[in-house]
Amino acid sequence: MGFFASQKGFSQIIVGPDTVCIKNELFLSTTDTSASTYYWGFCSAYLNNIPTGSSIAAGTGMDSPSSICMVTDSGKYFVFVVNTNSPRNLLRYDFGTSLSNAPIVNVIGDYGGVIPVNCKGFEIVKEGGNWHGFLVGGATAVNSQMVRLDFGTSLSNTPAIFDLGNLAGLLLNPQDLFVFKEAGSWYAFTNSGFTGNLLRIDIGPVITNPAPPLTNLGNPGTLAFPTGMWPVFDGTNWSIFVVNRLTQTISRLDFGNSLLNPFVEVNLGNFAGLLNGPRDIVIIKDCGNYYGYVTNESTNSIILLTFAGNIAAAPVASDLTNFAGFNAPRFLTRMLRDKDNVYCFTANNLDNTLSRMTYNSCTNASIASSTLQTPLPVEYDVPGLYNVYLATDEGLPTMKVDCKQVRVLPQPFIQINNDTLICQQDTILLVANGPGLYSILWDPVYNAIAPYDTTSILIYPREDYRYNVHMEYYNDKKTCAFDTSVLIRVSRVKADAGPDRFVADGASTVLGGPLMSYGQEYSYVWTPDTYLNSAFIANPTSTPLDVQFYYLKVTNDSSGCESKDTVIVRTECTDINLPNVFNPVSDIASNRNFGLINYNIVKLEYFRIYNRWGQMIFETTDPAKKWDGTQNNIQLPPDNYVWIVDGTCNNGKRIRKQGTVLLAR
């Protein structure tokens, strides 16, 4: 277990509101305007949440570990562990620049057996630029002892070890250790597992004192095999929380304004029986609240104690269960905030693993962090409580730390159109409303009917368009803004029947114009189907006998939207209409004969066909009669043949005309 010599509280250097609406900008600044560095975390770990855990597997040198301590030095993180089995090695786990890394283990050594038997308490402090570690352990008065590790200026160094002995023979199965400095002198607290006595070691103004005296402060009342302990300074008074392993309770020792004062014990009990083989306790203050963590060695779990804002209040206990591979967890490191995440470690005595408890930062802020003195505004996309963390002059003696809890209000129920599909030429009413709404603005206002600052607008877009709406409303007496949008998709269907037209008597025309909507999603209906080869295709062929009016309807089958158009086809007898080739043995019946295609010849003077020698081979006065390519029932050879026609149309026009036709076989 590790403590720092002094515990720095949070100084109030963050300026800004403590409440903001969801997806609204939060503006923050700081009163510390002369710092050399700034680090803002906008979604820092919130200890009111549930922690996550991971396990660092066996095989990294641990052998029945118990003592553990975590320290940061020059931006690097280290966890030290002491094995209880012989040869009682000291291990150092190097995590580099982040406690989330996989560590590199370094076996420092056993120092020839100088490391205490059954080592428990472990503390590392810094004095005058040098690091010093203290270990206590032992099972009896004979082998109980305290040693000091001198690392020099870096925790990466291999420390020298100094045996301070049993300190006047008063150490008896010492458990935990807390080293602190007060009024220019160094002190340490430890406890006796067998007697329950609290012991104070008066190291003095020089931390390397080789023979510090020890004072037995006795057992204040109900301390029963005390193991882990943790100090808390609330800004005015000191308290030390102690785990009573025998009675499975937690005691609080109240010292007042100085740890050198006499103290009073308050036993907090067992918290409805949640403590089961408790071993150690660690407490952290985060954003004004205190959180305690107790290892349950018997049930391999962590018990959370929530003190709210008053460390003297009775905490609320809850079982976090085994979330990090605990297996006989003993002592805990301190809780350490690595920028936006909070970490704590324990060594598992039975399976030689290291468990890492983590409170991770969230991902709900538009900006995760900033190094600017005045950061850009940040937005949160999920309602709830968030921690804003600020560290200035990080790593320097002038370092300041502050955190601010920000409550993000939820968006009230907002009534607004869903994304909508409409037919082209249609009009739709867009509506937006909600409780506390006092201002609304639609933008843009493409094809909309004014006014634009009301809860609803009437629109008639001609193409797909997104309409934005800005709403301002009151939420819990706070002015909030909400921006959203509605996508109006327009199903554009175009029926183009083509231009009105004249068609020669007997000729055909293809209906439909270039603006027609084509595709598998469209269906077509032409009405009436008179003279059409099909009434259900986009471009049918019309062979009219008279003036014909057509009505076209095109439907988008997926949206149901329709478009309509009309066309008039007029026919007039102004010429003789005959094909220029025919084949009596064609697969197409209409191509096997040669004759007038006209439908409006009312009188035919003659229709004659001649071969190349001027012999007439066919003659008729019936406009409907056609030549089949024979003469006297004899098939004529393929050749070009001359035809002449003299007839009168139904409009009284007389037409005389001649030409050639190719007989093909």
DSSP-assigned states of every residue in 434-459: -TTEEEEEEE--TTEESPSSSSEEEE
Does one domain contain both 430 and 524? no
Does one domain contain both 255 and 337? yes
What's the structural domain count of the chain?
5
Q: Is residue 619 part of a domain?
A: yes
Q: Is residue 4 part of a domain?
A: no
Secondary structure class of 590 (helix, strand, coil) = helix
Measured CA to CA, the distance from residue 600 to residue 623 in angstroms comes to: 9
Q: Is residue 3 part of a domain?
A: no
Contact 126, 134 (CB under 8 A): no
Which residues make beta-bridge pairs with 524?
A: 554
Which residues make beta-bridge pairs with 241?
A: 230, 252
Measured CA to CA, the distance from residue 155 to residue 148 in angstroms comes to: 14
Measured CA to CA, the distance from residue 596 to residue 404 in angstroms comes to: 98
Q: Give tens-digit pLDDT for 530-552.
A: 999 999 999 999 999 889 999 99
User: Which positions ≥6 away from 67 have C-beta within 8 Å?
Assistant: 1, 80, 81, 82, 119, 120, 121, 122, 135, 137, 331, 347
Q: What is the CATH number of the domain that holds 394?
A: 2.60.40.10
Q: Is residue 496 part of a domain?
A: no
> Which phi and psi angles does 113 have, rounded to 5°?
85, 10
Task: Tell me what pLDDT residue 626 has.
Answer: 94
The number of residues making up the chain comes to 665
Q: Give tens-digit pLDDT for 323-355.
A: 999 999 999 999 998 888 999 999 999 999 999
Question: How do strand 400-409 and strand 19-21 relate by DSSP bridges?
Answer: parallel
User: How far, in Å, are 27, 135, 170, 243, 638 from residue 196 at the CA level?
Assistant: 52, 19, 12, 11, 129
Give the DSSP letter of residue 411.
Answer: P
Q: What is the CATH number of the domain that holds 330?
A: 2.120.10.30
Does one domain contain both 165 and 40? no
Does one domain contain both 342 and 427? no
DSSP collapsed to 3 states, 541-589: EECCCCCEEEEEEEEECCCCCEEEEEEEEEEECCCCCCCCEECCCCCCH
Does one domain contain both 473 and 597? no
Does one domain contain both 420 and 447? yes
Decide if pLDDT at 580 tops 60. yes
Contact 45, 403 (CB under 8 A): no
Handedness of CA 571, 575, 577, 581 (dihedral sign): negative
**How many C-alpha atoms does 134 have within 13 Å on its Cβ side?**
32
Does one domain contain both 37 and 66? no
Does one domain contain both 505 and 470? no
Decide if pLDDT at 60 tops 90. no
Task: Tell me what pLDDT residue 238 has.
Answer: 96
**How many C-alpha atoms does 235 have within 13 Å on its Cβ side?**
9
Does one domain contain both 171 and 234? yes
Q: Is residue 1 part of a domain?
A: no
List the one residue out of 469, 337, 367 whose CA is nearest residue 416: 469
Secondary structure class of 354 (helix, strand, coil) = strand
Q: Give tens-digit pLDDT for 550-562.
A: 999 999 998 999 9
Q: Is residue 68 part of a domain?
A: yes
Does one domain contain both 255 and 107? yes
Task: Tell me what pLDDT residue 11 has.
Answer: 66
Which DSSP helix (H) or strand (E) runs through 268?
Answer: strand 264-269
Q: What is the CATH number of the domain that holds 599?
A: 2.60.40
Does one domain contain both 287 and 434? no
Q: Give tens-digit pLDDT for 118-152.
A: 999 999 999 999 999 999 999 998 999 999 999 99
Q: Give tens-digit pLDDT for 366-418.
A: 999 999 999 999 999 999 999 999 989 887 778 888 889 999 999 888 888 88
Range of 10-14, 248-252, 661-665 with top mean pLDDT: 248-252
Label residue 454 by pLDDT band (50, 70, 90). confident
Point out the domain boundary residue: 471, 491, 511.
491
Domain interval for residue 144: 46-359
Contact 89, 107 (CB under 8 A): yes
Point out the domain boundary residue: 409, 424, 440.
409
User: How far, in Å, are 65, 389, 580, 631 from residue 664 at the CA level?
Assistant: 107, 96, 11, 15
Q: Quote the tokens at residue 505.
A: 């008597």
Does one domain contain both 555 and 610? no
Q: Is residue 2 part of a domain?
A: no
Top-confidence residue, 665 or 77: 77
Longest dimension (CA), the chain: 152
Contact 292, 282 (CB under 8 A): yes
* Sole residue written with tokens 């634009």: 452
Q: Is residue 110 part of a domain?
A: yes
